[in-house]
Amino acid sequence: MDYKSARQLVIKECDTALSKVDEGEIEQLIEMLFAADKVFFIGVGRVKLELEAFAKRLAHLGIKTHIVGDINEPAMTDRDILIVGSGSGESLVPVAIARKAKLIGGKIVHIGSNPQSSLAPITDLMVRIPVQTKLYLADEIVSNQPMSSLFEQALLLLGDAVAAMIVAQKNIELKKLWAYHANLE
């Protein structure tokens, strides 16, 4: 496969995946983000990297975000939400952290593909990106990319789409966002 074919494959698959996300779920997510005191994120591997990018972008928009496990992570309260990124919804650490967050009284948002996962009973909102996971569920979008690449790519783009919606809803002047950008670089 040449670069042009690979590029077209990735872009087409991402477009297909994101077109299957329920807009109502995205609107509920944004409402939850606005209502929360703090927003925590948990994921593992490449999913964690995509969630870190999402958290950083939301921080640029004035939302207090934290990555679970970071040295400066504050205590969670019942006024906060935890966003769990897991395609299968079965990743051990995120599921355990979500259960602990639920005991604290936090709201749980699962961004994933498997609506019947171990997270389902404690999830307040699931944003479903119905792409192929390691479970190979019948209704998942098949990908020709390695492993869970499509989920990870769609997760990153979903975060940027949510950020763009927030900018529009709050009528934020883009030029002013640089005041929130890191300046010790």
Helix, coil or strand: residue 83 = strand
- Of 23, 152, 173, 185, the catalytic one is 152
Q: Report yes or no on whether pTM surpasses 0.85.
A: yes
Mean pLDDT over each residue of the chain, to the nearest integer:
94
In a domain, 148, yes or no: yes
pLDDT digits (tens, 9 = 90+) for 97-107: 999 999 999 99
Q: What is the CATH number of the domain that holds 96?
A: 3.40.50.10490
52 carries an active-site annotation: no
- Distance (Å) of CA 35 to CA 29, 107, 131, 145: 10, 11, 29, 37
Sheet-wide strand order for 39-42: 65-67, 39-42, 81-85, 107-112, 125-128
Q: Residues 113-162: pLDDT tens digits?
A: 999 999 999 999 999 999 988 777 788 888 878 888 999 999 999 999 99
Mean pLDDT confidence for 165-176: 90
Question: Is position 63 within any domain?
Answer: yes
Does 181 reside within a domain?
A: no
